[in-house]
Structure 1
Amino acid sequence: MRDSIYSKAGKRAFDMAAATAAIIGLAPVLVATAVAIAIGDGGSPLYRQVRSGKDEVEFTLYKFRSMPLGTDSRASVHARTMRITPVGRVIRRVNIDELPQLVNVLLGDMSIVGPRPALPSQVELLGMRRSSGAVALRPGLTGLAQINAYENMPERVKAHYDSVYAASVTLPKDLRIIASTLRYLLKPPPTY
């Protein structure tokens, strides 16, 4: 990974500003979602999951809970085989379930753009990221692999996109990835 002023300091400043603005701007959506989940089944609106972060340091990732209480941790590729609550179905379709990760960005566990945080059990993916230097990056809310995603994308392809991103982390590249992500979010919702 090539170090630049942006990757050393500017990226973190950008993350802090963007996450703060998003949390303030989306506060009504965040509160309404949390209340809907809590009313839906009486449980906590947040789902916590251990993920592998920068330099493989584990952290607690936050999401809005879309599955019934007590559901075990699995990689997102298994989402179609898991039970989803009625509120969960809606928040996944409009991609609101990931918004609590803005808190992870503020805490420094994540970035707005970077490789998606892997489960510690995704040993093969983590090994490929280690080889390419992508493991040295903070995981992101979105990334190059996500804007090029297709169903059942193999881990080696994800790792390739992570490697390409890690080779040159720049503000223009991050802005292009964010713009592509926003365009993706405007597409018809996925089917679960």
Structure 2
Amino acid sequence: MTRILDFLFAFFGLLILFPILIIVTIIGYFDTGSPVFIQTRMGKNKKPFTLIKFRTMGVDTKSVASHLASSASITPFGHFLRKTKLDELPQLINVIQGQMSLVGPRPNLMNQLDLIEVRDAHGVYDVLPGITGLSQVNNIDMSTPELLAKTDKTMIDNMKLTTYFELILKTVTGKGSGDTIK
């Protein structure tokens, strides 16, 4: 059921938000010269996929987990995108392609070995990664692998349609601050 909802919400979300996507792309072009950020992440069953986001950091920023990046690398427009969570909108394409869900554990980088190990032990890779989830609305990021994996597992084990909608609503209304930057 959630796959159908994911597809419909993502499809109509892209249609409705298309003007915003174009505006953010144009402003992002002037901000960094490369408005779209593409990165390999770990998906369901630990299968790699290409995540699409709006770029919030300079083009020359090292590819590390957000909690390891310097806040100085975030552009002024990038701060706005992160605060409003508009940087996540292109991931609706990943949802349509079946690589992600709207709600699920955030996909990690392929080199986050400690996180991969603990998530694997908790069965987190048995589901599609998501744009948002229980950890995100509770400000739990990848800097605390064990807590993140346990929270993801709790969400997975207790996922119902009401939980799905509740987590989407909390995200859209601004709950959670996204990935922590030092």
Structure 1 length-normalised TM:
0.84
1:35 aligns with 2:35: no
Residue aligned with 1:115, SS: coil
Ranges of 4+ aligned residues in structure 1 off by more than 6 Å: none
- Cα distance in structure 1, aligned partners of 2:59 and 2:37: 9
Report the alpha carbon displacement of residue 152 of structure 1 after superposing the two structures with TM.
7.7
- Cα distance in structure 2, aligned partners of 1:126 and 1:186: 23
- Cα distance in structure 2, aligned partners of 1:185 and 1:29: 21
Which amino acid is 1:23 matched to? L
Residue 2 (structure 2) aligns with: 11
Residue in structure 1 matching 2:168, options 175, 178, 182: 178
Change in 2 beyond 3 A, CA 1:149/1:86: closer
Worse overlay, 88-97 or 15-24:
88-97
Report the alpha carbon displacement of residue 169 of structure 1 after superposing the two structures with TM.
2.8
Change in 2 beyond 3 A, CA 1:151/1:141: closer
Worse overlay, 148-157 or 47-56:
148-157
User: 1:94–1:185: 8 Å Cα contact kept in structure 2?
Assistant: no
Residue 136 (structure 1) aligns with: 126
Report the alpha carbon displacement of residue 86 of structure 1 after superposing the two structures with TM.
2.9
- Cα distance in structure 2, aligned partners of 1:147 and 1:80: 22
Provide the aligned C-alpha RMSD in A. 2.3
Report the alpha carbon displacement of residue 183 of structure 1 after superposing the two structures with TM.
2.8
Residues 101-156 of structure 1: CA deviation (Å, up to 9, x unaligned):
11111111110000000111112222222222211111000011111125786111
Percentage of matched positions with identical amino acids:
35
1:122 aligns with 2:112: yes
Unpaired segments of 5 or more residues in structure 2? none
5 Å-filtered alignment, 1:1-192, equals 10-41=1-32, 43-150=33-140, 154-185=144-175
Unpaired segments of 5 or more residues in structure 1? 1-9
Which amino acid is 2:30 matched to? I
Which protein is bigger by CA-based radius of gyration? 1
Report the alpha carbon displacement of residue 165 of structure 1 after superposing the two structures with TM.
1.6
- Cα distance in structure 2, aligned partners of 1:164 and 1:12: 20
User: 2:102–2:132: 8 Å Cα contact kept in structure 1?
Assistant: yes
Which amino acid is 2:31 matched to? G
- Cα distance in structure 1, aligned partners of 2:86 and 2:157: 30
Change in 2 beyond 3 A, CA 1:152/1:49: closer
- Cα distance in structure 1, aligned partners of 2:120 and 2:79: 34
Structure 2 length-normalised TM:
0.89
User: 2:105–2:128: 8 Å Cα contact kept in structure 1?
Assistant: yes
